[in-house]
């Protein structure tokens, strides 16, 4: 496969080089080696069209494994569209058409032999509005496992997922209560527990904290950092400070569906290479 050329600015700590895992490591330019950083997702010249309208243009980037990658940009720039390309959620939109290659563990997810449902078990998703099923807390988490025909210890797995989502201590005595009875922040953590229960490799998050208050937001942010020890997280956020706080890498999309700069988050927010990115993140437009 040939590597398509890209105009994306990835100067200095290039996406193709080993990716520093922490701010300190990024500063020293060293890879601590403590956490793997090989790309798990490779986008190669992805174009997306909604009918005649082109929503994404030639997106080429590598998303590192077990890191948090933030996608930021003004409304309509295509960042959510790109997120949805990763687990083929755009298949659900009849007019949507995807061109190019989206490699997950080196396999193009748009190949004919890929089952989107199976793919989404590997690449889970958390949405902007918490959307628990109208079922018990327990069943919300166990639901996906049951569908998969999980044969292990279901109770243990549910507890593990709820602990992983930092919710267990708050709900362990009310597992039979409805998930809808929880607060907004708890509901979102329940959705995260539901997403991590089938043990996916990647979790996509589309503005997961934008409907939450500051305390619940900070709990979700802490949780994202924690789960990135085990999972690759790709998050779309309108909150640039949130991207700066929680992500290792940041991709900046600008109007027209263009990926303008992709680099270490520290680099993006301290000294971006691209003037349009500087203007966007300092609020001069957008």
The minimum distance between CB 272 and another protein, in angstroms, equals 6
The minimum distance between CB 266 and another protein, in angstroms, equals 11
In three-state secondary structure terms, 136 is: strand
Instruction: Select the span of 31-39, 46-54, 116-124, 266-274 touching another protein (CB under 8 A).
Output: 266-274
CA distance 243 to 235: 8
Q: Which is nearer to another protein, 188 or 274 (CB)?
A: 274
CA contacts within 13 A on the Cβ side of 50: 12
Instruction: Select the span of 65-73, 182-190, 229-237, 269-277 touching another protein (CB under 8 A).
Output: 269-277
Query: What are the DSSP calls for 81-102, one per residue?
Result: HHHHHHTTGGGGSTTEEEEEEE
Q: Beta strand 232-236 with 202-206: parallel, antiparallel or unpaired?
A: parallel
With CB under 8 A as the contact rule, the residue among 160, 199, 230, 278 that binds another protein is 278
Q: Which is nearer to another protein, 58 or 266 (CB)?
A: 266
Q: Which is nearer to another protein, 113 or 270 (CB)?
A: 270
Q: Which is nearer to another protein, 45 or 74 (CB)?
A: 74
Kindly give, in sequence order, each residue whose CB lies less than 8 Å from that of residue 99, ignoring residues fewer than 6 positions away.
45, 46, 47, 48, 49
Q: At what angle do helices 137-148 and 184-196 cross, to 10 degrees?
A: 20
Residue 7 contacts another protein per CB under 8 A: no
Q: Which is nearer to another protein, 209 or 244 (CB)?
A: 244
CA distance 20 to 42: 18
Q: Which is nearer to another protein, 167 or 240 (CB)?
A: 240
Q: Which is nearer to another protein, 60 or 250 (CB)?
A: 250
CA distance 101 to 98: 9
The minimum distance between CB 263 and another protein, in angstroms, equals 12
Residue 73 contacts another protein per CB under 8 A: no
**Residue window 230-249: x/- pattern of binding to another protein, with contact defined by CB under 8 A:** ----------xx--x-----
- Residue 252 sits at the vertex; the CA angle it makes with 18 and 266, to the nearest 5 degrees, is 50
Q: % helix / strand / coil in the chain, to the nearest 5?
A: 35, 25, 40
Residue 283 contacts another protein per CB under 8 A: yes
Residue 284 contacts another protein per CB under 8 A: yes
With CB under 8 A, what is the number of residues at the site for another protein? 14
- The closest of 213, 161, 210 to 189, measured between CA atoms, is 161
Write out the residues near another protein by the rule CB under 8 A.
240-241, 244, 269-272, 278, 281-286
């Amino acid at each position: 496969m040939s590597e398509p050329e890209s105009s994306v600015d990835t100067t200095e700590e290039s996406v193709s080089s080993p990716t520093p895992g922490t701010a300190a490591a990024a500063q020293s330019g060293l890879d601590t080696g403590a956490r793997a950083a090989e790309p798990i997702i490779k986008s190669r010249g992805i174009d997306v069209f909604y009918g005649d309208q082109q929503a994404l243009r030639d997106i080429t980037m590598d998303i590192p494994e077990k890191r948090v990658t933030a996608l930021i940009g003004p409304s309509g720039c295509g960042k959510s569209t790109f997120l949805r390309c990763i687990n083929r959620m755009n298949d659900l939109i009849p007019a949507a058409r995807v061109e190019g290659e989206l490699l997950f563990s080196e396999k193009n997810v748009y190949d004919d032999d890929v089952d989107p449902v199976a793919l989404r078990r590997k690449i889970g998703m958390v949405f902007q509005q918490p959307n628990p099923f109208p079922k018990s807390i327990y069943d919300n988490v166990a639901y996906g496992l049951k569908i998969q025909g999980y044969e292990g210890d279901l109770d243990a797995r549910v507890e593990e997922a709820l602990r992983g989502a930092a919710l267990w201590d708050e709900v362990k005595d009310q597992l039979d209560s409805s998930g809808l009875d929880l607060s907004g922040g708890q509901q979102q953590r329940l959705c995260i527990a539901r997403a991590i229960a089938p043990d996916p490799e990647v979790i996509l998050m589309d503005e997961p904290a934008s409907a939450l208050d500051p305390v619940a937001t900070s709990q979700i942010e802490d949780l994202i950092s924690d789960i990135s020890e085990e999972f690759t997280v790709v998050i779309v956020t309108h909150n640039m400070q949130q991207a700066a706080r929680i992500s290792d890498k940041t991709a900046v999309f600008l109007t027209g569906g263009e990926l303008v700069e992709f680099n270490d988050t520290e680099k993006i927010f301290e000294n971006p290479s691209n003037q349009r990115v500087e203007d966007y993140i300092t609020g001069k437009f957008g």
